[in-house]
């Protein structure tokens, strides 16, 4: 069996690593297409190096642009690759423009399409990611859902055929790499940090970065916190801060994007994580670290069910209150995301 995997953004590299290992173990051929949606070293190549992902056969080098520019360039490039290599199945991940472009290219050519992380819904149609998820799911032949909630979401939309509850491949990756991170990462030493003595923040969603008012509001909340906040900054966020001349509070330490092992180490040792990233919400849950989500909703509702994740939006008062509130102890921690063998289950289903 020949599988073409389409990736393009940091979370997809993480999700795909254990699946690629399982594909190789099963003896199937995998060709990786990198769209180049994330393209600098800290957001792309370092993940391939640290996680042992084989090099993409092609990098489309699409880079930044509007949604239409990105998606159209990806679609043309992926279609040409599919026509040249005639796979049995195309594998896409998550909810980015790379996901949608890979899905459209496959379905237009009549090639079987599998979507890993199917069925997620935030029900916020202002998010570009929500459109990408819905469209990809309705194109797919095989829908690999990480949670029962995702299965239920698809059922409400009339999608039952090809739906499989498999667990979360990001959980597979965390189990595999978190101990390696603690052994090998020197990020705490290099930043002179002590465990549980700092907060960790990430911001990259368009509705937080494209509005200078919203971005300023979040940073003004950070300024009122009497703790160090480590902020690995996404290139788009840095560009937005510079364009709007937003002042960085003195307690906020901007650092360049870090690799996967360093990020896992920062997450495991943070007192609180503040983020608008879906993947980091999950990783915080896996590590039993309190997460405050800088969004009004989440597609990962499982993380909020027991209080490990709190939706604070972008209101400074809510952010500050949540940071300063005593953290609950002894919260329940259910295994919503599988048993750490989701990747093997997916590959078995691909071959059946």
**Mind telling me the catalytic residues?**
204
Run of H or E including 41: none
Question: What sections of the chain are H helices per DSSP?
Answer: 10-26, 45-51, 67-85, 97-108, 128-139, 148-156, 169-184, 187-190, 206-209, 212-223, 235-243, 260-269, 278-287, 302-305, 316-324, 342-350
Phi first, then psi: give them for residue 94, nearest 5 degrees: 75, -135
Q: Whose CA is closest to 288, among 269, 312, 274, 263?
A: 269
d(CA 235, CA 241): 10
Dihedral (Cα; 201, 207, 209, 211), 10-degree rounding: -130
- Residue 146 CB-half CA count within 13 A: 25
């Amino acid at each position: 069996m020949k599988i073409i995997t389409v990736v393009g953004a940091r979370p997809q590299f993480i999700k795909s690593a254990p699946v690629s290992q399982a594909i190789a173990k099963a003896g199937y051929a995998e060709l990786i297409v990198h769209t180049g949606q994330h393209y600098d070293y800290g957001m792309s190549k370092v993940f391939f190096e640290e996680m042992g992902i084989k090099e993409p056969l092609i990098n489309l080098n699409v880079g930044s642009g509007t949604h239409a520019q990105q998606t159209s360039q990806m679609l043309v490039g992926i279609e040409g690759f599919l026509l040249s290599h005639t796979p049995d199945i195309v594998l896409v991940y998550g909810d980015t423009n790379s996901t949608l472009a890979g899905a459209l290219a496959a379905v237009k050519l009549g090639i079987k399409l599998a979507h890993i992380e199917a069925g997620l819904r935030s029900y916020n149609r202002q998010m570009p990611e929500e459109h990408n998820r819905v469209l990809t799911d309705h194109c797919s032949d095989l829908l690999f859902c990480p949670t029962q909630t995702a299965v239920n979401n698809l059922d409400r939309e009339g999608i039952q055929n090809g739906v499989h509850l498999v667990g979360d491949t990001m959980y597979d990756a965390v189990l595999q790499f978190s101990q390696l991170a603690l052994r090998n990462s020197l990020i705490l030493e290099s930043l002179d940090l002590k465990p549980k003595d700092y907060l960790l923040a990430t911001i990259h969603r368009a509705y937080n970065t494209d509005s200078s008012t919203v971005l300023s509001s979040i940073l003004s909340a950070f300024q009122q916190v009497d703790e160090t906040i480590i902020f690995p900054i996404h290139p788009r966020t840095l560009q937005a801060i510079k364009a709007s001349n937003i002042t960085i509070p003195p307690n906020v330490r901007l650092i360049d994007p870090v690799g996967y092992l360093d990020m896992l180490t920062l997450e495991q040792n943070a007192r609180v994580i503040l983020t608008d990233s879906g993947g980091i919400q999950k990783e915080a849950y896996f590590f039993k670290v309190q997460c405050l989500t800088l969004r009004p909703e989440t597609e990962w509702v499982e993380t909020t069910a027991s209080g490990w994740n709190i939706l604070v939006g972008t209101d400074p008062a809510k952010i500050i209150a949540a940071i300063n509130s005593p953290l609950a102890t002894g919260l329940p921690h259910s295994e919503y995301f599988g048993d750490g063998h989701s990747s093997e289950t997916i590959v078995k289903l691909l071959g059946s």
